[in-house]
């Protein structure tokens, strides 16, 4: 019988292959993007003097001299989107986030756009990456049961909710997103909220709180109404945390009742 260590090692190897690894570790590090200074049989070229105000070795106006600002690029791409389909296309075409290279699918949203309640999760996990939809694993199943308890859901016959994440691509090994990744994806999230026009935001977990409130500490933030993007916002503990900490479900139920009281549900 194959051991658990074998399957773990194989999963790690398959992950590296998906990221583009083609060789084992060599004796010396190799920068595959670095071009040689000279070609065989030719004399080395003399470097031209750097123009004032530019970095040595980089020509003025070249990509090396003026590096792209991924946050600024994200802001331009997000604001150019005039509807949700356009925003999804802008995300699909955004090449500055390395997470995209290791993900199987872009996880954009689920539920009904324009719903009164918009739930902001953190990042896709394995199941979400496979299906291309947010909250479809064990945490997603708990999320569905939680909101069904107050008459909300993402099914065709439910009073609708709309769901997205701060990050549209799965981080490797489900690690927490870095501050740089959150900052890069934040313009798309803000535009997503603006185009969706919900009445209430539900901020699920620390990553969402950092992106929308600039703070972490969800166990302290939860349960009190705040404001994000000009909308009433209720921070809540992420369903994955509730699965690990069942005693916190009592507080989550109180938060859900606050959300139901805030809405007018037919």
Contact 190, 120 (CB under 8 A): no
Residue 122 has a pLDDT of 97
Instruction: Name, in order, each residue with C-beta under 8 angstroms of 128's C-beta and a sequence gap of 6 or more.
Output: 107, 134, 135, 136, 137, 140, 165, 170
pLDDT of 265 strictly over 80: no
Mean pLDDT across 15-38: 55
Residues 219, 250 contacting (CB under 8 angstroms): no
Alpha-carbon distance 220 to 177, whole Å? 21
Q: Are the C-beta atoms of 173 and 90 separated by less than 8 Å?
A: no
* Structural domains in the chain, sorted by start: 70-262 (3.40.470.10)
- For the stretch 241-249, contacts whose Cβ atoms lie closer than 8 Å and that sit 24 or more positions apart, written own/partner, are 241/205, 242/142, 243/138, 243/139, 243/142, 248/219
Residue 56: its pLDDT value, please?
Answer: 44
Of the candidates 172, 167, 169, 204, the residue with the CA atom closest to the CA atom of residue 187: 167
* Mean per-residue pLDDT of the chain: 85
Token digits for 247?
């005693």
Of 113, 117, 106, 105, the residue nearest 83 (C-alpha): 113
pTM of the model: 0.75
Residue 10 has pLDDT above 60, yes or no: yes
pLDDT at 192 over 70: yes
Average pLDDT over residues 145-160: 92
Give mean pLDDT, residues 212-218: 96
Q: How many other CB atoms sit within 10 Å of the CB of residue 166?
A: 25
Q: What is the pLDDT of residues 93-126, one digit of tens each?
A: 999 999 999 999 999 999 999 999 999 999 999 9
Helix pair 138-148, 249-262: axis angle to 10 deg = 50
Average pLDDT over residues 148-176: 94
Q: Given the structure tokens 């859900």, which residue do they identify?
A: 256
pLDDT, one tens digit per residue, over 125-150 is: 999 999 999 999 999 999 999 999 99
The CA distance from 256 to 237, in Å, is: 11
Give the separation between CA 180 and CA 172, rounded to whole angstroms.
Answer: 15
The region of weakest confidence among 55-64, 175-184, 242-251 is 55-64
In the chain, the percentage of residues whose pLDDT exceeds 90 is 71
Query: Which residue would you say has higher pLDDT here, 185 or 26?
Result: 185
Summarize pLDDT for 203-214 with one digit per residue, the tens. 999 999 999 999
Residues 30-86: tens digit of each pLDDT = 555 555 444 444 444 454 444 444 444 444 455 543 568 999 999 999 999 999 999
pLDDT for 86 equals 98
């Amino acid at each position: 019988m194959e051991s658990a260590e074998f399957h773990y090692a194989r999963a790690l190897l398959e992950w590296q292959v998906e990221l583009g690894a083609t060789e084992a570790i060599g004796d010396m590090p190799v920068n595959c993007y670095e071009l040689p200074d000279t070609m065989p049989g030719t004399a080395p070229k003399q470097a031209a003097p750097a123009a004032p105000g530019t970095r040595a070795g980089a020509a003025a106006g070249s990509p090396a001299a003026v590096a792209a600002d991924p946050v600024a690029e994200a802001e331009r791409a997000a604001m150019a989107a005039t509807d949700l389909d356009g925003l999804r296309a802008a995300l699909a075409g955004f090449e500055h986030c390395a997470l995209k290279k290791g993900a199987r699918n872009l996880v954009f949203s689920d539920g009904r756009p324009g719903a009164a309640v918009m739930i902001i999760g953190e990042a896709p996990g394995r199941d979400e990456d496979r299906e291309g939809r947010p909250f479809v694993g064990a945490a997603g199943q708990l999320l569905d049961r939680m909101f069904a308890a107050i008459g909300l859901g993402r099914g065709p016959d439910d009073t609708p909710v709309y769901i997205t994440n701060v990050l549209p691509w799965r981080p490797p090994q489900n690690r927490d997103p870095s501050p740089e990744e959150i900052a890069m994806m934040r313009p798309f999230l803000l535009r997503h909220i603006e185009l969706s026009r919900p009445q209430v935001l539900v901020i699920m977990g620390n990553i969402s709180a950092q992106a929308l409130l600039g703070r972490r500490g969800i166990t302290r933030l939860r349960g009190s109404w705040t404001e994000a993007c000009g909308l009433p916002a209720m921070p809540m503990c992420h369903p994955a945390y509730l699965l690990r900490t069942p005693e916190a479900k009592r507080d989550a139920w109180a938060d859900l009742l606050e959300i139901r009281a805030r809405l007018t549900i037919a």
